[in-house]
Structure 1
């Protein structure tokens, strides 16, 4: 090997760099461990809300020492920025995909047009999106262009004042479309920047936010975030800030009296109606009372209440103030339904006909909300909006309450001065409204307020005040943002994942290291050292690149350990062959490395191609797995080819003899002469039966598709005691119409899945479903547990929701589509690579046939056994990662076999083809079984000790390795052999006979 000195220097320097990168993780872990101990000492288990108080104490501790020198100028704060990032499943936190509403953006660009063609196109795009992979804007344009005579450049659509500089009346639809696409992209970019600014100020370390293509979707990952409801509010709040003049209750208060009387009149009319009218009403539903109650939440209450509104009134507002009345929060929707129904609203006099009724922020203590009437106008646009805000800060008002101060730009300051002047003259109030909720409605009695400074005061906590200031400072979202996919992992479950991941990692590593020494002796020890260097390189690169380590990522690293042994096995087996030919040790080592290089490169490139497709098309766990797999392949090649070689050459430099076996393994697999091709018909029959059974099960039973592919919500819930999943499932079905509960790991932990309201979006829907879940599970939970404790993601007592996931129906279709193409894409790419590498289509056919064989059998086993196995066998994104890994492993094995066949065909060109192939297969048997065994040992260790979350993933890989090893010998090679023309076989046979005759 040339340039040994250069390789040594590079390896040492690179190792030191990796240690340096990992040192930051060591420092932060040490400091955070000290902070945790400090918090535990400060707040024991007997302290109320000890979990939240410990979190706050830890944060204070870390803030206090954040800039103190730990070692050689390194502080906690700068070490935290450079530590190895831990993913959601290892650290807890939240991962969401937000869908920015393209419909809202289109409506905004069209100035909320009521043009019939525009509204019809929007409605058709809404309907089509449920079953289409196309972007919303494409669906809108397709629908609009199908409407005869519809023009995008109409004054009622996009040829308006807002777009007058870019859209004119003479433009065709095709000319307007790219302009609108550009505007939509600008709005989504704006939304991305707004969210990024909000997240930057949230205080979570190592957040990740990225746009997903051009679909209007934004991925947000916040590892370590514990206050999940706070995070969701921060992400989904549009921050639509408005300033309105407010009616005094003395101006509009009589309206409530009139509305109440009108409701009484209508219910009396209903009671005294004839039976015929009642029957007609039941049939047609067009009576006044039915029209009224169509917008009310509970018709029974209205029909029996003496005073429909005043019976719900908790207290009136003070005389001359802005509050019309205070109502219980649970009655707000009902009251709003009453007062906004046309029959009641028509009671407003002309000077009040544009009144806009809104609720104030609910009072946490009394659980009431105040009703306000804003002074609207014909366009219902506020006199002043939040676009004028240039800065916002959390502060305290004159009474010591938490408040948020705002500073406006010059335009806003002038309008604010005019508004406050008018309010002062009229002795009235100005409402500060955020997302259609009144946060405060201060009176103005000191004259006009100049300078553009204003304040929002209310019943805020410090974090709520900070979040509100953060949102206002970052700006409003240009459109609503709905969470269409989310995953929440509690910190307790994250720590358990770390513990199980490390345990599986250590056990698998020890088993592999011992096996290599047992099989190859001192040479195996050198391979183990190279493997240790490989692991250091992998973690160092992950830390240096800022990549995120996830549980599937740890599985990828452990799998890499098993697969990286393959390169050393190939090398050692080739060296043993060269030694058996009588070569001296130095030449045998040189030729062994040289001859093995082709197989090593081919095997790793095919696996690498699969990894690249995983990385490009995958999201979340798939991408994490692919990242570590790709890094592991690169480092494994370097350490196996160069590091192992350095140790072996260094050992033999003084003439020391190095055996590549032990007394136990010295003669294993020598002089093998198994007739693989002679058994191919039997293999075809066995594989054919397995494929038929698999296809039959897939067509009849199908697969247990997870929410990734069908949409829905899943919750991993832990109980204090063991529970019966069947009994729990009955209670859940009563609450959700359809639900499934399965034991997930220990008997006190369930995985609950429901498709209830899968098509309904919005934070309020998520909250309602989670509340219903809590209600259904209440009989099985500790009597003193609150909803907040249940939904907090699992505290130290580890009871409640440990993990949750939501996938909307639309994105589920997208995930399923991407998964399908990732599998097909990997097959096409590998087929082409093998075709180019081996120059014969028969090799590609054999390889792809083996892969299809392996994938069908794995799918069939999952279809047959998903209802009987004691662990989850859902088909989700992680399973697709497993299938692609099976493809990569199967190809890896097949390519090594094909590489030896190609070598033997060239070397023994006078042998019959069948004899050549059998000899090649027998020569690789030691390597094939050795690699499969070490990989299986690794996978079984992860399967047993790696945690419930990846057990199904590992089971798929175990089946895949077993089937893949079999198929490379009994499917790929026979298919390749049978596809070679009979003419070529006859020619080789005749050639062999001639050579034999000459010899005789």
Structure 2
């Protein structure tokens, strides 16, 4: 009977109470939380950059810089080793990863090899596992030629070390900006992700992260005029460097540095007391102070150059020895420029150049608009779903709505506890969960109705209904969970946020369906002691349906085949309107500071910048414009230069609400990950369905799913909607939803195959579809209601995502009936594959609308 133990009751409500306490801060402002007692939880879900504004930047360490530095260092080490050993040589040079040197005295070759042997010894890589790596190998050629090669393993080791060091330097630089809760983490073998919420000046952040900030002090070479060095050949020990001025001023500078930035212990932006101009005051450690004092004592009256990343900041004349270990750097700085230089010097130099390969910046104004749109869509969708459930289920609908409220609360509690980031697609995931959450309740309620209809008492029907629905609900939700897990591991940014929200929603949905709803049902039954189902349940209208779905299967197959062929032809001939995620380039959302945006003027002004193809179109209201720039031929640095040019041209008249820049390296990775993601999710789902059912079911599910994916791609081709990362998220979610539908129908078919072994397969399939028709219609309707609210009220940013989802729900419902089911007939599925469960039912043939549960 309906018995819920006291401990289970306590556990259910304790879980709900804890979830309410944890989730509660999310429904109050920070000012309101500050007025609460200190013991009240205050941790909130972290808002993504698309909701609170800020910058997401992906940096790539330049491996070429690592190789160049190792090559120069190794050449220097070879020179020093041979000189110390008194061995004469010639032709010492290095190209790529190979260095060669010729020993002039044949009798000294073995001695030279012995002198260079320390360079070839393995070095310890440290870490928990230990191990060593050989960075240099040496081979001997003819005529005393020695070749030393930098190994790939050694370069990889140096790159990994440089990346670890770079992360620390980047963290120090970002912390100096005074931002709150920045995220800095490694991605892959050579990339760093930097996310800074609430940052209003992404250009300043990029300039801080782009610079190596290698500071050195050199003597200016006065042995010859710099013009002569430029036109002729400078001394071997010197080189020509240019200043940061406009126009740049050349200096002939000695290569040997007097002191480097490694000896700095502090740098602060201050003002020169005599000229009142911004300067940077610096202070050396004891070793640096000693070397600086010695250098200035020996070179009084000569100019020396302060060099930052191979550019001369200033070149003052040494008037007197500087023995205090401190000094000032002046170079016509602005206040912000002096501050930024001080930040760079305090944080330390990067071991290699970091290139911005991806940038996604959202202005705080757009973030606030996104929050408002997301909340409005969520509230409207929730109200619509609640009213829908009340209209069809009455008392049972109240229980479902209570479970839905607990479900949403638990989602926020889980996201808060996990420290997950809530993005705009994440809000879409919550809205989608609301639509799908009622599916579990509908499955249970319809099972209960069937059991009552088949002659069981209401108490027995409730017990059996929950038990029979459990396997179906788990099967259906696991397929969507697989898609969410694949999205999480192969997605990035907002897509990953959507995956987390969807996955958490699936888990909480299953929990509430089999704990809270069951408890509420048991309490209602004990309180009311009903003999019959409540009259407020209005889904009986589907019981009289006896639709012959399989009678038109050839027509629907032919129609679907024609649409698939048209979609594939359109995909090949016309192609998708690929967004910058997949083909690289830049996307900029602008909002006019006054009045309406002049799209024609924007096109004309940007076309003069020689940035290639430029698209400008209206976006939402008349004051907003979406600008797309093609991928620049010069690579990642050219992409950043293009954005800078656009900013300079338009920032006076337009607010930059959103900027997305994807370089060619990232776009190729995203394309590969997206393709792998769809393939892996389909494979895992195929394996799961094959394991749970028969191979015919697995094949049918995959064919139906491919139908949905191809037709969704056809929608993108026909409408010209931009295909981007969120489109991949939509496709994977459609896969999960479609399979959810298909598995429910398959589960009923499997059950009927075990019971009615002599029933013709097409009749049995029709019966199974009719038996689950109420669930199919109600679940599709609630999901469509929630998505429609998101499409209408969720804003332009996710409009294409929700449109694809709306289309996917419709064709997913179609394919679960007209694609997945007929395939079983084509593959000649036989009842003998299933063991009989109910012997008394064997051979009984019931009409499609009356078949047993």
Q: TM-score, normalised by structure 2?
A: 0.86
Q: Tell me the number of residue pairs that the alignment of Structure 1 and Structure 2 aligns.
A: 792
Aligned equivalent of 1:237: 211
Aligned equivalent of 1:535: 408
1:718-797 matched pairs, under 5 angstroms:
718-719=591-592, 720-722=594-596, 725=599, 728-729=602-603, 732-735=606-609, 736-755=611-630, 757-762=632-637, 766-772=640-646, 775=649, 788-789=651-652
Aligned equivalent of 2:196: 222
Aligned equivalent of 2:296: 420
Query: 1:919/1:726 Cα in 2 relative to 1: closer, same or farther (>3 Å)?
Result: farther
1:293-350 CA distances to partner (integer Å, 9 max, x unpaired)? xxxxxxxxxxxxxxxxxxxxxxxxxxxxxxxxxxxxxxxxxxxxxx84xxx244x7x6
* Superposed displacement of residue 837, structure 1: 1.1
Is 1:84–1:543's contact at 8 Å kept on the other side of the alignment?
yes
Aligned equivalent of 1:850: 704
Is 1:246–1:430's contact at 8 Å kept on the other side of the alignment?
yes
1:71 aligns with 2:36: yes
Query: 1:939/1:239 Cα in 2 relative to 1: closer, same or farther (>3 Å)?
Result: same
Q: Secondary structure at the match of 2:241?
A: strand
Is 1:652–1:658's contact at 8 Å kept on the other side of the alignment?
no
2:279, 2:421 → 1: CA distance?
38
Aligned equivalent of 1:714: 587
* Superposed displacement of residue 163, structure 1: 7.7
2:681, 2:490 → 1: CA distance?
11
1:892, 1:383 → 2: CA distance?
70
2:360, 2:284 → 1: CA distance?
38
Aligned equivalent of 1:92: 53
Query: 1:533/1:167 Cα in 2 relative to 1: closer, same or farther (>3 Å)?
Result: closer
* Superposed displacement of residue 17, structure 1: 3.7
Is 1:572–1:660's contact at 8 Å kept on the other side of the alignment?
no
1:479-518 CA distances to partner (integer Å, 9 max, x unpaired)? 1111111111111111111111111111100000110111
Worse-matched range after superposition: 482-491 or 460-469: 460-469
1:665-676 matched pairs, under 5 angstroms:
665-676=538-549
1:405-484 matched pairs, under 5 angstroms:
405-423=281-299, 426-450=300-324, 452-457=325-330, 459-460=332-333, 463-484=336-357
Aligned equivalent of 1:514: 387
Aligned equivalent of 1:324: none
Aligned equivalent of 2:31: 30
1:227, 1:372 → 2: CA distance?
32
* Superposed displacement of residue 462, structure 1: 5.5
1:771, 1:695 → 2: CA distance?
40
Q: Secondary structure at the match of 1:748?
A: strand
Query: 1:490/1:438 Cα in 2 relative to 1: closer, same or farther (>3 Å)?
Result: same
Is 1:429–1:443's contact at 8 Å kept on the other side of the alignment?
yes
* Superposed displacement of residue 615, structure 1: 0.1
2:531, 2:269 → 1: CA distance?
72
2:826, 2:95 → 1: CA distance?
62
Query: 1:745/1:995 Cα in 2 relative to 1: closer, same or farther (>3 Å)?
Result: closer
Q: Secondary structure at the match of 2:802?
A: helix
1:996, 1:546 → 2: CA distance?
55
Query: 1:465/1:648 Cα in 2 relative to 1: closer, same or farther (>3 Å)?
Result: farther
Q: Secondary structure at the match of 2:204?
A: helix
Is 2:61–2:191's contact at 8 Å kept on the other side of the alignment?
yes
Q: Secondary structure at the match of 1:753?
A: strand
1:391, 1:962 → 2: CA distance?
64
Is 1:201–1:470's contact at 8 Å kept on the other side of the alignment?
yes
Q: Secondary structure at the match of 2:455?
A: coil
1:96-495 matched pairs, under 5 angstroms:
96-111=57-72, 119=95, 166-167=134-135, 169-170=137-138, 176-214=151-189, 216-246=190-220, 340=230, 344-346=231-233, 354-360=238-244, 362=245, 368=246, 371=249, 373-376=251-254, 380-395=255-270, 397-399=272-274, 402-423=278-299, 426-450=300-324, 452-457=325-330, 459-460=332-333, 463-495=336-368
1:907 aligns with 2:785: no
Query: 1:443/1:728 Cα in 2 relative to 1: closer, same or farther (>3 Å)?
Result: closer
Aligned equivalent of 2:429: 556
Aligned equivalent of 2:716: 862
* Superposed displacement of residue 243, structure 1: 1.1
**Which of these residues, 366, 369, 372, is aligned with residue 499 of structure 1?**
372
Aligned equivalent of 2:10: 9
* Superposed displacement of residue 659, structure 1: 6.9
Worse-matched range after superposition: 920-929 or 641-650: 641-650
* Superposed displacement of residue 710, structure 1: 0.8
5+ residue gaps, structure 2, are 76-90, 99-111, 124-133, 140-146, 846-853
* Superposed displacement of residue 766, structure 1: 2.6
Is 2:588–2:626's contact at 8 Å kept on the other side of the alignment?
yes
Aligned equivalent of 1:961: 809
Aligned equivalent of 2:784: 936
2:284, 2:322 → 1: CA distance?
15
Aligned equivalent of 2:469: 596
1:159, 1:74 → 2: CA distance?
65
1:478, 1:189 → 2: CA distance?
10
Q: TM-score, normalised by structure 1?
A: 0.73
- Looking at secondary structure, tell me which structure has more strand per residue: 2
5+ residue gaps, structure 1, are 33-68, 123-153, 260-338, 363-367, 776-786, 791-798, 867-872
1:85-134 CA distances to partner (integer Å, 9 max, x unpaired)? 11111111111111110111111122278999974679xxxxxxxxxxxx
Query: RMSD value over aligned CA atoms?
Result: 3.4
1:875, 1:862 → 2: CA distance?
7
Worse-matched range after superposition: 856-865 or 6-15: 6-15
Q: Secondary structure at the match of 1:382?
A: strand
* Superposed displacement of residue 574, structure 1: 0.6
Query: 1:806/1:660 Cα in 2 relative to 1: closer, same or farther (>3 Å)?
Result: farther
Is 1:497–1:947's contact at 8 Å kept on the other side of the alignment?
yes
Worse-matched range after superposition: 163-172 or 736-745: 163-172
2:264, 2:330 → 1: CA distance?
16
1:729, 1:904 → 2: CA distance?
64
1:355, 1:662 → 2: CA distance?
93
Aligned equivalent of 2:671: 816
1:954, 1:579 → 2: CA distance?
38
Query: 1:91/1:188 Cα in 2 relative to 1: closer, same or farther (>3 Å)?
Result: same
1:690-701 matched pairs, under 5 angstroms:
690-701=563-574
* Superposed displacement of residue 8, structure 1: 3.7
Is 1:84–1:542's contact at 8 Å kept on the other side of the alignment?
yes
Is 1:521–1:659's contact at 8 Å kept on the other side of the alignment?
no
Worse-matched range after superposition: 805-814 or 960-969: 805-814
Is 1:159–1:169's contact at 8 Å kept on the other side of the alignment?
no
1:116, 1:977 → 2: CA distance?
77
Q: Secondary structure at the match of 1:667?
A: helix
1:265-303 CA distances to partner (integer Å, 9 max, x unpaired)? xxxxxxxxxxxxxxxxxxxxxxxxxxxxxxxxxxxxxxx
